[in-house]
Amino acid sequence: MLTILALLTVASGAVVEREPLRIGLSRLPLSLEKRGEPLTSTNYGSTLHMNISVGTPEQNLLVPIVIGDFSDMLVLATPAVGDPNPNAGNRTLFDPSASSTFELGGATVFYGLRSQPSVGTAAQDTVRVGPVSLPKQPMLMANVTDFDQVMNIKRGTLGMAGFSPTSGFGLDLAAAAGGNEIGLFVTPSSSRLGAWSYGLNAGEMSLGGLNRYLYTGNISYCDVVNPENWIVALEGLKVNNISVPVVLDPPPAKAPTVWLAPDFNGIFLRKTLADLVFALIPGSSSVYDAPLEETRWYAPCDTTATVSLVLGGQEYALPAKRWLTGEVFGSSGSCATLFRSYVQSANSSSMLIGLPFASTVYTVLKFGTTPQIGFAPLSPAALAHAPEQAANPGDKPTGAIPSGRSSTASAAPVSTGAGGTPVPSDGTRARALQLSWLIAVALTLHFL
């Protein structure tokens, strides 16, 4: 009987897993004032937001998260010089004078690339993300005058870039939750005219563990080759299974790379690379936008072309429905795509790829002395709540993430079994196994 007890104990311990903290994400346009505007080929920007609180007592803020190129935290504070109405609508700003835990000074904070100067005042205060508390969290405090070109529509920024192996908001957040990884699931934004999927159903961020019901198989990790961003080696590029050469020019050539920015709704390509890609998509065309100094790409609205990337030895496919919009270009029968290109310097990446790719995989940001970014295929449960592009202009995505155990009002998808029966979350399953073990122990002791 003691042997049976020991085996039950080992079996129970092997399957009990920690339930991750699940933080709901919302998607909003880059400019809140443009929330009601339809998507066009030049108005394709949106970013992920999440609710946080700053200070004591807590001041609630809805702030964008930037995964691509910022690593630290920035807040806009009152008084906001130059802002005639800083608290109008959703424009609530942080008031440091109302927080008993606010302090000026502290760790050096950067906003933007480490090679760029910071604008603002270094400070620190208690920050809470869901149930995770970060006392004395370093931040950069600025006013609207400092950032009036972009910050008239934001309350701050949470930077999640890799940047440094020993500092940064993303690393601090992951560590405070008890780990060094952040899981990310994002739904695709419909790119049909007028069909942006705004609201609290854009996905989730998991802390202190990964939500294994959102992906299948194993996480495939790639080493980060640039410490300032989530940049990895681009090992291959294909269009309809035809390989495209990806060596950078002009010489000296270097290993091609791809900059991964899950919060960015678009794909940027080096111009010479874009020419090769769209040469393999019949009926495609391009238009140069002089004011923006970029080329916009168009393809037949009914194209079935698939663009594939090879990262970390794994091939990932991007079907046309992920990058083709419903904006018809004149009478040509072509639709605008989310591809853009411009002439880059020899030191830049071959590609910058965002939501069109991130919405096809479960992404893991792994912080530490050797930062890595990982990907896994989405599970059927995740796909059920990742709506495809709307079939017609004006259609709205319908794959809202259902309610469940979550640290916010927006929860992650719940996996379903045969006949649509919900599969319990990690924590629920662990508790059920523990209960089964206790029942087994009780029965064993009864017959001793």
- List CB contacts of 94: < 8 A, sequence separation 6 or more: 54, 55, 59, 61, 75, 76, 77, 78, 141, 155, 156
Q: Which amino acid is at 192?
A: R
pTM of the complete model: 0.77
Residue 434 above 60 pLDDT? no
Q: Is residue 425 one of the residues assigned to a domain? A: no
Distance CA 206, CA 224 (A): 21
Residue 438 above 50 pLDDT? no
pLDDT of residue 143: 60
Distance CA 57, CA 99 (A): 6
Range of the structural domain that residue 124 is part of: 36-179
Tokens 């939750």 correspond to what residue?
Answer: 177
Q: Which of 230, 225, 181 is nearest to 69 (CA)?
A: 230
pLDDT of residue 46: 64
pLDDT of residue 108: 57
pLDDT of residue 291: 78
Strands 372-377 and 361-366: antiparallel
What region does 381 belong to: left with phi over 0, alpha with psi -120 to 50, or beta? alpha
What is the per-residue pLDDT across 144-187, written as a single tens digit (0 to 9) for each? 544 443 433 467 788 887 655 456 888 899 999 999 999 999 88
Q: What is the largest CA-CA distance in the chain?
A: 85
Q: Mean of the per-residue pLDDT values for the chain?
A: 71
Write the DSSP string, 250-278: SSSP---EEEE-TT--SEEEEHHHHHHHH
pLDDT of residue 182: 94
Distance CA 272, CA 122 (A): 42
Distance CA 30, CA 152 (A): 11
Rounded average pLDDT over 261-279 = 87
Domain total in the chain: 1
Q: Is residue 104 one of the residues assigned to a domain? A: yes
Distance CA 205, CA 203 (A): 7
**CA angle in degrees (0–180, nearest 5) for 108-348-140:** 20
Which of 14-18, 60-64, 225-229, 409-413 has the least mean pLDDT?
Answer: 409-413
Question: Per-residue confidence at 256, pLDDT binned at 50, 70, 90?
Answer: confident
Q: Is residue 97 one of the residues assigned to a domain? A: yes
pLDDT of residue 65: 84
Rounded average pLDDT over 372-388 = 82
Under DSSP, the state recorded for 220 is: E
Side-chain half-sphere CA neighbours of 256 within 13 A: 22
> Helix H segments across 309-425?
320-323, 355-358, 380-384
Residue 403 above 50 pLDDT? no
Strands (DSSP E) along 97-235, which ranges?
103-104, 121-129, 132-142, 156-159, 181-186, 199-207, 220-223, 231-233
Q: Is residue 311 one of the residues assigned to a domain? A: no
Q: Is residue 342 one of the residues assigned to a domain? A: no
Q: Is residue 447 one of the residues assigned to a domain? A: no
- Whichever domain contains 88, its CATH number is 2.40.70.10
What is the per-residue pLDDT across 14-63, written as a single tens digit (0 to 9) for each? 444 568 899 988 876 655 444 444 444 444 456 788 889 999 999 988 88
Higher pLDDT, 291 or 86: 291
What is the per-residue pLDDT across 109-155, written as a single tens digit (0 to 9) for each? 555 544 444 556 788 999 999 999 999 998 888 765 444 434 334 67
Tokens 């630290």 correspond to what residue?
Answer: 72
Distance CA 190, CA 389 (A): 5
Rounded average pLDDT over 236-260 = 81
Q: Treating both helix axes as pointing N-terminal to C-terminal, what angle do 426-446 and 2-15 enclose, rounded to 10 degrees?
A: 180
Q: Which of 14, 142, 139, 126 is nearest to 78 (CA)?
A: 142
Please tell me which of 205-209, 270-274, 415-419 the model is most confident about, judged by mean pLDDT: 205-209
Rounded average pLDDT over 210-214 = 92
pLDDT of residue 142: 73
Q: Is residue 294 one of the residues assigned to a domain? A: no
Q: Is residue 62 one of the residues assigned to a domain? A: yes
pLDDT of residue 87: 44
Q: Which amino acid is at 112?
A: G
pLDDT of residue 95: 86
pLDDT of residue 304: 93
Higher pLDDT, 349 or 351: 351
pLDDT of residue 51: 86
